[in-house]
Structure 1
């Protein structure tokens, strides 16, 4: 335990922090800068700091190899010319990056890491970024008991994870549910446990319970090393007054950094039951069930016996992690949680903070002399190796050049003719005869493009597998969707995606660049969409909120893509998985419909539907299709209607943490829409910024889409027209044009939009000037605005 920058040792309670000035053997720094502050309101270990103007390292002799905590204490203050709040630096061990381009703006901060040390020394290295500097107030290196982190865990959703001992961990959150703050002085391992109230989504749904004396550490179970008595002896319990005849979950939300795996540890201890088998409940991570019908007494065979379970979850594109507890079906409505730990795991580059691993500590002068000799020898070897590599690369380039001319296009229906590229129509589409888009791409080319499928390049995870960002050799940015061998979605979806996207080309459909089926791989390569999914812009990510016009334009673009699918060829194509996560946005926020793995050719001319097994995503699924297993284009219309409510309300379509009547967004929003009060539940970010007529038209359109029977729903052409009109009402009002209250004319305006090219051709709409909109606004004004760029 080190008090950095102090001239003498510091005692806090029964802990002694040793001055790093008196232990010169562990510190290697190019310059000694010892900083102090006169602030007495903070702990004494924060009143001094050591400033590092260059590459600096602390070296600790490890008496017993194994997992150790590394705790870094920071408090930025101004000392002479050093304003520590502007410091930027990295911190590494021999194996891992702990912090990268790190800075502390204000307040005291403790960063805790857990690293398995397999050498006799721990070298902790501080490297300033650019012309900046680094600083540190205090440092702890503490041995971790072997039982605390075992080598395996249960990843979400299935299977066992082996290799935790090789992972570096960062403590992101350590929470005492239903209990008070537990400081390091009250935990035998020096841990801090914070209360859970700031993380509760709805604090009214829980009550804090305490029965510390009842905690019963049974043989073979967790000990107080796993968590102290004050964690297992307190709990957050569902509030009895609020759970009778109700169905809801208690949810906690935690800030996390996307792009990493997280180890989630749940701590349980049944201190509320009076007999065995009374408590039966479910546990969720995000909205996914990870422990169903959990009966703690069956796990421990005792009351009030501690129990914990570990899960590993990948957080790919969200900055909020949610965990929930709720009653099991048919059981008494109750659930508890005693404690929770959220620990970030290092990525494939050995980093806990995004930066690449920086391996070696600073060298001494003697090491530099030896390094010079070694460097000369190695240099000669490298020179020879480079020459050989150049020869090999030239040969490989010639082979690639030849191979690029022989890539085999995907043969539709298992073989036959490969189709040639057709001409582009004026409306931005390429007909189904213009299909040679699905080319086989060599696996090695995708390995190079994605840095061997580096986990840091994962931009999404779905049922088919992970999606990686990459750049091909010619500079083309791509998104590579790599099939997971364990996925339930397999070869059929892989072929469907290629066949569908090879038939269609449209500016509002994501383009397929190629595919790879080498080495038992199933990889689809798409154009890269810089702004991710529509869902990520609505909630659960770091993206800024969209304004109302942007939301309308995204809905319009998506509707155009779906309208083209339904009408662009002799037989309609039904997407079957329309949702906000399958609407992608390019650098200009232009919407493109994606993920055609579940798509299905529509009915023949003499048929009304296609009979098929039900597939899709809960919350978006057409109830009529679900009941009758009869698929039509109107099933996509229903799903799109849910997306419209998702756009206006900016919340998940299924959220089991909410009261029962609010869980399903479609049902909940429809009640407000039918009562004429949709404006009361819209996204707070756009409240007061949506014109009443535009909102009314939008809500009526969504309501029509969610009609119980498909025959009562509008076509996508009708939906598209009404969304264009909602945008026009918004813009006309913003431009100061007169407007009247609108009513929904879906179904009555379809003669104007039966032409598949209605919105695509950009034709002059003045020919409709004689037609008056039934809401009172001149149709000539509407259509004349639609031909303008800003109106589209």
Structure 2
């Protein structure tokens, strides 16, 4: 947004070195679990900014270098002020790599240091090469003639991380002087969505933690340069003066008081104290009228990248009291945040840091233009706007605009060819669609006969206690004051959990109903999509094995969800790590059966079905009677329509539980939930996490490890020691076969959740704790509530055939179909 009223006034900006020295507070030390600092081509250790870079010639245990493809090089003519870290380099004459051992799965920072020099053998200024990180290109046809630091933020989800250097041609070479690979706190880049700025500004980008981000600009607005010595994550922040369009419109603001980090917003990991202790504000000193104008910065960026991640840092150090500062934020001429009130974003605390994330669609200007200007909500005498810091990062693994245009052109050509054929298919497709709708109506009638009660949209209080099988009341808005009362004003002693969306509190409503209150970060719209998704999904469904939404609150910039309180908490803490009494095998089977019933209803209880997308042991809760309830529907998506086979969407989920086919193809079906549930089944059996990076490499991934033992027929060797000798072999065999089918590589080979439910109930029957039932009885019925039957059902065998059990645990295989309940049309 350009300046609204031009002015020719100038302003001197004195900023004494003495005052600056008062601002230099060192950030609290951070010790990363992964901390690989490599001085390439060196045998000596090199100290830099209170850290020590280890020479790669010393062969550190956690780092390996491919041999025979590189040489060590020393600068023969170092200058007197040369940085010691850059006096050595490793030159690669062929494709070569460094491999790093990773202890902490999660977000990492990767820095590559390049400082070319000339030796007798090589002129590093002529190098041209590419670099990939775990197979994904992060630098392409890269060449430099001066010192450059390339910094990337990326998710590392493997225990071996590889950086591969590849010369552009056979006679060329690559080089690097130093490498940093270290883990960063999980909240550096949130899983929350960021608002998309561009022509489609109402959209959100909800997959940030999966992106590879390359730092382009990191700016200390209104302040001086900050070196790695002054930053928790050893980052460099530069002043904003060179980017300001109209310097006379800006005035520096500063404080000597340390920022207030207590409200749970930004932290010293987000930015150093000094970023939040300085800012640029509107300069009104020489104005004779109440002219309105914006402060504007232009940050040049590379046109080859289609999208950029932009983080803006704010801290109100200019107001004397709360609710005085309202302003607007613009990016590339689009309104990014209207009537921004930092008081509401910071739990009504002054000088409390916050940051807001955006994803920007680049135009053809070659810059990211950021403006802040006064809001109409401000009084004439108090109109102001501030900005403390800016970070701009290239989204490396987002498809570039050139590639997109090529693909669009290709699709236009393909569309022209296919169009004629598609027309011929319309009539046939219409007939098929009508037939499928008829079948779907029949399916829904069967669903209702099984005791499932879809939500009826009645008006009324959202605080009503609901029970399965009763008329439903849709969750409604709960006043913020009532939620404050229920949680004793969000008392820290009532915190029962936290997650990506926010903190969860235990509360008691006025009618003595116990509830769980999930509070999003106050004032932030991060998590808005999850907030809306939970309300949408839970307003449509109702089931004994799904956590119920009591109500929600969206006032005073709050996003709060209120659920029924589930007494015993997540299944995970009853399996390992918390010291709680271990669950019996019967309890574990009943919990898995309950969760499967909830998911079966989720997949089939509505016409379109719902895919959960984040099935894991922390999202299966247990009530006071250990009855399982599936929770957390923030990532849920409607299933494919009648004429579709899948939903195309960005990959979401939790590492260790994520369906590999969904990850590869980005095509979501209910079979992705099946895979995740298979991981949970092995988690229940083995009582260990889905991923444990501290174990040996072959043990890290539970699904892969357990499958190997299952296929060997030795699953009993890896079960929870508490269960040894307590599981009947036939029950364990059936349970293992079911989990194995769930984890099939391709979704088409996985069973439905109804099939999984049927076999889990059969495993319970084989254990001797459930009644035997007929081959074609519906799995939705509670097996223990019915009289015993004489016929033992047939179920899934390890080779896909059908088992027939004669009642004594001995079975033989017959038939060619996978599940006996699919033999008749009446089965599910």
User: Which TM-score bucket, shorter chain as reference?
Assistant: 0.3 to 0.5
TM-score (normalizing by structure 1): 0.46
TM-score (norm 2): 0.44
